[in-house]
Amino acid sequence: MDDKLETIKQWLGTGSINIFGLPMSGKDTQGIKLAEALGAKFLSSGIIIRAMEKETHQNFSDSGALIPTNIFYEWVLPYFERPDLFKYPLILSSIGRWSGEEHEVMNTAAGAGHNIKAVLHLKLTESAAKTRFEAAKSLNDRGDRNDDKDPNVFATRLKEFHDKTLPVLETYKLLDLLIEINGEQTREAVFNEIVEKLYQVASQSHA
pLDDT at 141: 55
pLDDT for position 42: 97
Q: Rounded to the nearest 5 degrees, what angle is found at the Cα of 140, between the Cα atoms of 138 and 144?
A: 135
pLDDT at 90: 98
Residue 40, Ramachandran bin (φ over 0: left; ψ between -120 and 50: alpha; else beta)? beta
Residue 24: closest CA among 116, 117, 161: 161
The pLDDT value given to residue 105 = 97
For residue 163, how many other CB atoms are within 10 A of its CB? 12
Contact 148, 154 (CB under 8 A): yes
pLDDT at 146: 52
pLDDT tens digit sequence for 148-169 = 678 999 999 999 999 999 999 9
Q: Going residue by residue through the chain (207 aa), what tens digit of pLDDT does each one get?
A: 889 999 999 999 999 999 999 999 999 999 999 999 999 999 999 899 999 999 999 888 888 999 999 999 999 999 999 999 999 999 999 999 999 999 999 999 999 999 999 999 999 999 999 999 988 877 655 555 555 678 999 999 999 999 999 999 999 999 999 999 999 999 999 999 999 999 999 998 865
Asked: is 2-201 a CATH 3.90.1150.10 domain? The reply is no
At position 196, the amino acid (one-letter code) is E
pLDDT of residue 77: 96
CB atoms within 10 A of CB 44: 20
Pairing mode, strands 178-182 and 116-123: parallel
Alpha-carbon separation of residue 170 from 31, 107, 121, 173 (angstroms): 21, 17, 11, 5
Q: 158 exposed, middle or buried (CB, 10 Å; 0-12, 13-18, 19+)? A: middle
CA atoms within 13 A on the CB side of 201: 20
Beta strands (DSSP E) in the chain are 16-21, 41-44, 90-93, 116-123, 178-182
